[in-house]
Structure 1
Amino acid sequence: MAGEPAGSRLGVGIGWRPELDLTIERMAGVDFLEVVAENVRPARLPESLRLLRARGLPVVPHGVGLGVGGAEPPGPARLAHLAACAQALGSPLVSEHLAFVRGGGLEAGHLLPVPRTREALDVVTANVRMAQDALPVPLALENVAALFGWPDDELTEAEFLAELVERTGVLLLVDVANLYANQVNLGLEAVAALDALPLERLAYVHVAGGYERHGVWHDTHTTSVPEAMLDLLTELCARVEPPGVLLEWDDHYPSDAALAEELARVRSAMAGTAADGTGTAGTTPGERR
C-alpha cells in the first residue's frame, strides 16, 4: 500500500445541491460535503450550508471553471472567488478539474481533456503554481471524463498527473467514475491508472453514476453508481486508505432512502464487501453484476 495520504480525514460525503438540502440535513452517515464553488456567494452562503457547517461537517469548494489546463493563466477573479469560498466555509482544501474550459475568449461549455504533451505539462504546471499561490488552503485536481483523446499525447493520464504532482505538490481528487468512463470511451485501463497514480497525494475520491449509449459512457451523475465503479473503488482502497469518498448526484434526484443506500454501498465497497456482506476484494471491475 502507498504511504499515508496527504489530505485531511474526511470520511464519506455527498455533493451538496439546493435540491438535496433538506435530505442532507436529516440524513445520518454524511461526514463531509462538497459544493460547486461557482454556485455559491461567499458573503451569502445558503442557510443549509451554514447549518451543516455549524454541525461540524467540513465543506470543500469544488470549482468547475478555473481552467488550469488552458494556455491562458487562471483568471484573478476566479481565483479570488475560490479563495473566498474556502475562507467563508472554513474549508480544509479546494478542488478543481485538470481540464481545458476556455481559450481565445470562447467558453468550451464542457470539461475537456488536456493534451498530454510535455509542452502542455509546462503550461499546466505554471497555472497550478499560480493557483496554489492564490489559495489559502491546498489545491486538489480531479481527472476528467473524456469523450475523445488528443492525437499527439505523449503521456498517459496517470503519467501526466504523476509528473504534475512531482513538480507542484498538488493533491489529487481521483474520480473513479471518470477512470471508468475513459476505460469505456478511450480504452484506458482504469486499474492500470490506479497503479500509476501517486496515491500518496490523494485528497479524496469521487463516485457517481451515468449511462452507456452506443458504446459511449456518459458521466451524468444522475443514476445509481454501477457495480463496476464500486469495484474500482475497492481496488483503490486496496492500494491506499482514501481520506474521503464523495458521492456526486446532479439531477433526477432519488429519495432519501435511495441516497442513504448509495452511501451504504460506498462504505461497503471501501471495506471490500458487497452490500450483503460478502467479500469482493480482488474482483475485476465489472465482473460482479
Structure 2
Amino acid sequence: MTSPASATRPRAGTKTTLGVGLGWRSEIDTVVERQPGLDWVEVVAENICADHLPTSLTVLRRRGVTVVPHGVGLGLGGAGLPDPERLDRLAATAVALDSPLVTEHLAFVRAGGLEAGHLLPVPRTRDSLRVIAENVRIAQDQLPVPLALENIAAQLAWPDDEFTEGEFLAELVARTGVRLLIDVANLHTNRVNLGTDPAAELDRLPLEALAYVHVAGGTLVDGVWHDTHAHPVTEPVLEVLAELCARVAPPGVLLERDAAFPPPSELAGELDAIRRVLEGSTPR
C-alpha cells in the first residue's frame, strides 16, 4: 500500500528553486541574519529541536528565507533499517521549518549500536545497492517532503566496488526517485585522495535529480585533502562547481562553514565568488 507521504511526493525531477545560501550555525546566527542577498539557509537537523526553534531561524523564516534541514546521523548506508525515532525527528523538523525538502548523506555511520564518528563510504556493490535502496524507500515513506542524498568525501575506497560513485548514485535515483545533493568540494576531495575525475563523475550523474549543491573549503596535509569546512573555498573547488554548472543550472548552491568562522566580509566574499561562477556559466 502506498503511504500518504509517498503518494504526494514530487518526482526526482521536480525542482525547488533555492538560490544562493549559507549554512546556519549557532556560532554565527546573527551574521547569517545580516548577510545581504541571502536566499536560503541550511541547518544541521540534529542540532535543533522542532518544538523549540532558535530565535534566529524564526527571524529568518518570518522574512521568507527558506530553511532546509540537513541530517548527518540517519545512516542510510548501513545494513540496519533506518531508526524510526530518528526519522520521526527529521520529519518533525521539516514540518516545523516548513521546509521544501530534507537532505542526508549517503554514508555508513553505525553498526551494532556502535557509532563510527565519521561519514564513511558505502561499498558500491549490487548487494549494497539493494539494501540502501530499501532504506531510502523507508525514509521516503516516513518523511513529509522529498529526500535528497549527498555524496561524501572519502579517504579510502572499498576494494570490490562494482560501480563508480556516479554510477551508484544514478542507479539509486533510478530505483527510488531520490534527489541528489552534490557536494563539489567532496568531488574535489575524492579527486585528490582517490584519483577520481570530477568531470567524469558529473557525466555519470542524473543531474535532472539535482536538488542543490554544497561548496566548502578544506586543506591539503601531507598529500591528503581534508574537507574541513573550516578553510576558505579554493579555486579547484570553484572549478568543479563551474563544471557542474556547465551541465545544469543548479536549483540552489550553499556555502558550508562549520569552524574557524571568518569575518562577515570574508563570508560575503565567498558567496560572491559562488555567484560569479553561477552568473558566468551557461549549461550545455
- TM-score > 0.5 by shorter chain: yes
Contact 1:7 1:204 in 2 (8 A): no
Contact 2:102 2:146 in 1 (8 A): yes
- Aligned: 1:218 with 2:257: no
Q: CA deviation at 1:35?
A: 0.2
* Secondary structure at 2:246 match in 1: helix
Contact 2:19 2:252 in 1 (8 A): yes
2-structure distance, mates of 1:35, 1:179: 22
Which residue, out of 194, 215, 218, partners 1:207?
Answer: 215
1-structure distance, mates of 2:231, 2:283: 24
- Scaled by the length of structure 2, the TM-score of the pair is 0.94
Match in the other structure for 2:24: 16
1-structure distance, mates of 2:194, 2:268: 32
Match in the other structure for 1:55: 63
Unaligned runs of 5+ in 1: 274-279, 283-289
Match in the other structure for 2:123: 115
User: Aligned letter for 1:6?
Assistant: T
- Scaled by the length of structure 1, the TM-score of the pair is 0.92
2-structure distance, mates of 1:262, 1:44: 31
Match in the other structure for 1:256: 264
Unaligned runs of 5+ in 2: 1-11
2-structure distance, mates of 1:35, 1:155: 31
Match in the other structure for 2:4: none
Which residue, out of 225, 247, 253, partners 1:245?
Answer: 253
Match in the other structure for 2:108: 100
Q: CA deviation at 1:271?
A: 2.1
Runs ≥4 residues deviating over 6 A: none
Match in the other structure for 2:7: none
Deviations 1:48-72 (A, max 9, x none): 0000000001100000000000000
* Secondary structure at 2:43 match in 1: strand
Identical columns (%): 63
Superposed counterparts of 1:151-166, under 5 Å: 151-166=159-174
Match in the other structure for 2:198: 190
1-structure distance, mates of 2:207, 2:18: 16
1-structure distance, mates of 2:168, 2:91: 26
Superposed counterparts of 1:36-55, under 5 Å: 36-55=44-63
Match in the other structure for 2:33: 25
* Secondary structure at 1:241 match in 2: coil
2-structure distance, mates of 1:272, 1:155: 33
Match in the other structure for 1:287: none
